[in-house]
Structure 1
Amino acid sequence: MKVVKALDEEKVGQEQAAAENKSGYIRFKKFHFIMLLFFIIFLSAGITAFVLAFGEEKVVTVEKERAEFKKFYTAYNTLNNGYFKNVDRQKLINGAINGMVESLDDPYSDYMSDEEAKSFHNTISSSFEGIGAEIQEKDGHILIVSPIKGSPAEKAGLKPNDIITSVNGKSLQGMTSTQAVTLIRGKKGTKIELTIHRPGTEAPVKVPIVRDEIPIETVYGEMVGKGIAKVQITSFSSNTAKELVTTLNDLQKKGMKGLVLDLRQNPGGLLDQAISISSMFVPKGKVVVKEQDRSGKIKEFGSQNEGNPTLPLVVLIDKGSASASEILSAAVKESAGVPLVGEKSFGKGTVQTAQDFSDGSNLKYTIAKWLTPNGNWIHKKGIMPDYPVKLPDYASLPIINPEKKLELSSSSEDVKTAQKMLKALGFNPGRTDGFFDQKTKEEVEKFQKAHKLEVNGYLKGDSTMKLMELLRDKIQKNDTQLKKAIEVLKTRMK
């Protein structure tokens, strides 16, 4: 008997469509842009004149207008008729809408231009071109939620909570996440330079990255021990549930008796996919997630039970696990008694919907809270694992700019990081205070010789890249969180 039934495609489509329509996480409604203007104007009764100034300049006059709109009309007319040069009236309206959204002080609500909206839609398409990292705006800064597995961002060493301060020298201060995405994304093969500040470090570092095609392949499975499989889900895109079905059935043929589900650094995605996947492990009829609207009304989403809820399971989470990842984690923890291992999750407990306008622009806004099966709201709090486990200290070391030369007698935070990396890889620079002395030079030479690099005694280019690559490999091999998850799983398989 297969672990997961091969679901009927039409049924899946109907269930996914229903889930999307009911939950509103990502709904795309067609709505003529000009209706937004009519909505603003016709909320008040007694319109006497409304003229879009395509030719002669005219003033909008409104009788019995709502008081809160009077200032808006006055500002629009004042700028439209009195500014020292001609204004773009479309930009004025767009700016007003953007201002309304920004006043919500919600990093997950956004007004997007047509170009920004295209980038937004790409997040659930089959692929896109860029660096491969989920970002969000927080307190006026652009933060990395999580890099995508195998992406240029991950290979460059970017981590959750890294702050992107500028792109190719242009500051991102005060930008929305979609505005930042527009700058960061670009054609495959083109180079971009990010300035990154990592919390806990003193100085920002410039990180050159070559953009690539980022395929939205979201499920990766492998056997990691006798009867034990590990499946990593990197995001929740439109085909993730189907990918997981295929992967689990393949792993069962290889002898899977227990599963570690890895949701670390998974920034989330589509709610219907989180519900479908949760249903594979939560018994039918039990609650997967709840949704609470502005009036306090709560709607429950139950397990569809399209899998094997008796399969021994352990779930891995960390501070990069957000949104749909947290929905899945909370669902299996509270409704199926599945233990969580790792670190506290990110803490995103809101649901968004998106509305397209006919000019290509888009309004994304928060419509509800989501609650765990037990009614907990994890927003800005995250989910605590049952077994807290950290990765080794060297796993959190900052990245080093490979274009910067670290040499004898130099002193910097980058040198300190390089010394710690060398030590983690079995070399002994003698110190980790950031001063590049003769001993450090000798260890760099040993490192270069051991890995068939040019032996010159300084770190730059290929030597720096190799140093970070080897450290990343060591982190993966010495995955303390995965080891603990396997240990816990074995007790559940007895």
Structure 2
Amino acid sequence: MPRFRYVIALGLAVLLLVFALVFSILGRVRYGDFYETAEVMSIIENNYVDKVDIKKCQEKILQSGLQDCLDKHSYYYSADDLKAVKSLDSAPFVGIGLQVNKKDDYIHVVSVLENSPAQRVGIIPDDLIVAVNGVSTKNMSPEDATNKIRGKSGEKVVLTIQRGQKKQKDFILVREKIERFYVKPSFITPEIGYIRITSFEQLSSLELYSSFYSLGILSDFSSKDFTGNKSARGIIIDLRRNPGGFLGEVLSMLDFFSPDKGRTVFSAKGLHVNEKFTTGIKGFFDNLPIVVLIDANSASAAEVMAGVLKIWGHAVVGEKSYGKGTVQEFPIRLSSGSALRLTVARYFLGEQEVAVDGIGISPDHEVKWKKSENQSEEDFAAEFFPNFGNPEKDPQLKKAVEVLKEQMKKPRN
């Protein structure tokens, strides 16, 4: 019996060795270049003229390498970067009042909050942030840039700004607690409501629902009667300069306007993903006249909302949107404590599976802010941003009001 056990043990050992050799060979065939990378790192560590932090070097290779071989929305996060992201997510918002996205490999200012440190020093939307505290933002993710910009209240941060063709300029700002809103309702006229959505963050759908109360259109939704003293009979949803956010929030918002339960909102498709997302209910406001505003900075989740409302028959005004039609999974944790943000699918809108990535949403009524030939960036900004959202001086909003008034004349179902 002992001899028999010995033979079995020996056989298992040989079998495990064979499996190990097979997987080793397969690994070398499939990921052979990584063995070469490890070899290069070993040579550097043992031969380079100065001492090298091999771990940091490896992180840099992964960060830049992913940008070269994958799309611009996929990133590698070191363990320290991931920890910073998570700690800031749970902390009170302290920063300088900027909303950013990525443009031309650098960080692009999408919007500046009123009365924020950024506004007070003169930073304007469309500025490029080329460095934060002297660290280049080239190939940096918007999340990483935001983490570097944020910090403790009272501390300083230096942003290097490129504006148009002018020389780069450093702005020194002092961080402070920022009061943020994502959904802000108001009246343009007693019958026209205006809802500005700056981002789709957690609970934004509840903020939108609350906005319906503020606009007086939830008093009797079951009878579809929106008349009354200062009760909006139609609304303009402004998604301009909205870089996106949580797709789950958009799904919840679109339920309010859905013509039917089970309508396809979007399909997510990738090599390893194939999933359809539909409306959960027939909306309370399925026949409420709506006009949507978009521009070149409306991206991702904002494009889902604008594109689906357009498919459902609502007018879209403004400029063609950004064209980000991809879905990222984050964090995909690695054994080292680091993580990936990885593009796992592209989304396609509605039953017809309308593509968005690299294409964008085209408005039904194209309206652009016009800049004169000799007008400087500063002069254009001085004219544009104070008038943004003013129905008398904002040409896109003015057109949206005009289109909505025509819709409101039509009888409802």
Bin the TM-score by the shorter chain: 0.7 to 0.9
Between the two proteins, what is the percent identity of the paired residues? 33
Per-residue Cα deviation, 1:429-469 (whole angstroms, up to 9, x for no partner): xxxxxxxxxxxxxxxxxxxxxxxxxxxxxxxxxxxxxxx5x
Partner of residue 223 from structure 1, selected from 172, 180, 187:
187
Q: Contact (CA 8 Å) 1:157, 1:398: kept in 2 or not?
A: no
Q: Contact (CA 8 Å) 2:67, 2:139: kept in 1 or not?
A: no
Secondary structure in structure 2 of the residue aligned to 1:46 = helix
**Superposed displacement of residue 84, structure 1:** 5.0
> Equivalences for 1:154-169 in 2 at 5 Å?
158-169=123-134
For 1:106, the aligned partner's letter is: D
Per-residue Cα deviation, 1:270-321 (whole angstroms, up to 9, x for no partner): 01011111221122222211211126x6432112235321111111111221
Partner of residue 291 from structure 1, selected from 268, 288, 292:
268
Q: Contact (CA 8 Å) 1:160, 1:320: kept in 2 or not?
A: no
Alpha carbons of 1:245 and 1:124: their partners in 2 closer, same or farther (altered >3 Å)?
A: farther
CA distance in 2, matches of 1:485, 1:380: 25
**Superposed displacement of residue 76, structure 1:** 3.8
**Superposed displacement of residue 258, structure 1:** 0.9
1:246 aligns with 2:210: yes
Q: Which has the higher contact order (CA 8 A, sep 6+)?
A: 1
CA distance in 2, matches of 1:145, 1:106: 21
Q: Contact (CA 8 Å) 2:200, 2:250: kept in 1 or not?
A: yes
**Residue 223 of structure 2 aligns with which residue?**
none
Partner of residue 151 from structure 2, selected from 186, 191, 197:
186
Per-residue Cα deviation, 1:109-146 (whole angstroms, up to 9, x for no partner): 11112443245447865742222334344443232344
Partner of residue 375 from structure 1, selected from 348, 353, 370:
353
**Residue 429 of structure 1 aligns with which residue?**
none
Tell me the TM-score normalised to structure 2 length.
Answer: 0.77
For 2:266, the aligned partner's letter is: V
**Residue 213 of structure 1 aligns with which residue?**
177
CA distance in 2, matches of 1:271, 1:179: 21
Q: Contact (CA 8 Å) 2:319, 2:362: kept in 1 or not?
A: yes
Per-residue Cα deviation, 1:2-56 (whole angstroms, up to 9, x for no partner): xxxxxxxxxxxxxxxxxxxxxxxxxxxxxxxxxxxxxxxxxx95269xxxxxxxx
1:390 aligns with 2:378: no
**Superposed displacement of residue 481, structure 1:** 1.4
Partner of residue 322 from structure 2, selected from 346, 351, 362:
346
**Residue 5 of structure 2 aligns with which residue?**
none
Partner of residue 56 from structure 2, selected from 85, 88, 91:
91
> Equivalences for 1:295-306 in 2 at 5 Å?
298-305=274-281, 306=283
Per-residue Cα deviation, 1:358-393 (whole angstroms, up to 9, x for no partner): 765331110011112232222233211111112353
**Superposed displacement of residue 493, structure 1:** 1.2
**Residue 406 of structure 2 aligns with which residue?**
491
Secondary structure in structure 2 of the residue aligned to 1:108 = coil
For 2:212, the aligned partner's letter is: L
Partner of residue 236 from structure 1, selected from 200, 203, 218:
200
Q: Contact (CA 8 Å) 2:389, 2:397: kept in 1 or not?
A: no
**Superposed displacement of residue 257, structure 1:** 1.3
1:66 aligns with 2:40: no
Alpha carbons of 1:159 and 1:390: their partners in 2 closer, same or farther (altered >3 Å)?
A: farther
For 2:258, the aligned partner's letter is: V
Partner of residue 81 from structure 2, selected from 102, 113, 116:
116
Secondary structure in structure 2 of the residue aligned to 1:385 = coil
Per-residue Cα deviation, 1:142-161 (whole angstroms, up to 9, x for no partner): 32344456654456554554
Per-residue Cα deviation, 1:85-120 (whole angstroms, up to 9, x for no partner): 655454355345435423324221111124432454
For 1:271, the aligned partner's letter is: L
Alpha carbons of 1:244 and 1:353: their partners in 2 closer, same or farther (altered >3 Å)?
A: same
How many residue pairs get matched?
A: 369
Secondary structure in structure 2 of the residue aligned to 1:272 = helix
1:275 aligns with 2:260: no
CA distance in 2, matches of 1:196, 1:265: 19
> Equivalences for 1:74-89 in 2 at 5 Å?
74-84=39-49, 87-89=52-54
Q: Contact (CA 8 Å) 2:328, 2:342: kept in 1 or not?
A: yes
**Residue 395 of structure 2 aligns with which residue?**
480
CA distance in 2, matches of 1:110, 1:258: 41
**Superposed displacement of residue 332, structure 1:** 0.5
For 1:367, the aligned partner's letter is: V
Q: What residue ranges of structure 2 are gaps of 5+ in the alignment? A: 1-17, 220-229
For 1:250, the aligned partner's letter is: S
> Equivalences for 1:13-92 in 2 at 5 Å?
46=20, 65-67=27-29, 68=32, 69-84=34-49, 87-92=52-57
Q: Contact (CA 8 Å) 2:318, 2:396: kept in 1 or not?
A: yes
**Residue 311 of structure 1 aligns with which residue?**
288
CA distance in 2, matches of 1:87, 1:319: 43
Tell me the TM-score normalised to structure 1 length.
Answer: 0.66
CA distance in 2, matches of 1:156, 1:317: 28
For 2:377, the aligned partner's letter is: P
Cα RMSD (Å) of the superposition? 3.3
CA distance in 2, matches of 1:71, 1:242: 52
Alpha carbons of 1:255 and 1:176: their partners in 2 closer, same or farther (altered >3 Å)?
A: closer
Alpha carbons of 1:81 and 1:493: their partners in 2 closer, same or farther (altered >3 Å)?
A: same
**Residue 324 of structure 1 aligns with which residue?**
301
